[in-house]
């Protein structure tokens, strides 16, 4: 991940990739994926399966969590967006990834 932008109501937060915040996905041709990252000193890893339908990718994480992201590719940049309900509003998350 090179950058993440979270928008909720009138607030917007931008998180740029750094030593304290990073995220990486590896999408395999057998429709499995894995990922690693860290956020403010805490590291994490995950895996699961992925599928594509039109302009959306669904990630089924091990442990029964499923996320659907809308994506676009421009050059070597993958942009992924999703909206989730939060309280009385919606939170829009946009993440930018550079091809490795």
**pLDDT tens profile 19-52:** 666 778 889 999 999 988 887 778 889 999 999 9
Q: Give start and end residues of each alpha helix (H) in 9-92.
A: none
Domains and CATH numbers, the chain: 3-98 (2.40.128)
pTM: 0.68
Give the burial class of 80: count Cβ atoms within 10 A of its Cβ; 0-12 exposed, 13-18 middle, 19 or more buried. buried
How confident is the model over 59-82, as a mean pLDDT? 86
Cα distance between residue 47 and residue 35, in whole Å: 6
Structure confidence at residue 40 (pLDDT): 75
């Amino acid at each position: 991940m090179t950058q993440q932008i979270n928008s909720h109501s009138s607030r917007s937060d931008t998180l740029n990739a750094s030593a304290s915040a990073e995220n990486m996905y590896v999408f395999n041709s057998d429709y499995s994926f894995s990922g690693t990252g860290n956020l403010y000193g805490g590291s994490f890893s995950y895996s699961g399966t992925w599928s594509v339908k039109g302009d959306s990718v669904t990630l089924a994480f091990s442990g029964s969590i499923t996320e659907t992201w809308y994506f676009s590719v421009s050059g070597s940049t993958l942009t992924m967006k999703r909206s989730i309900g939060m309280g009385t509003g919606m939170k829009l998350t946009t993440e930018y990834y550079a091809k490795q």
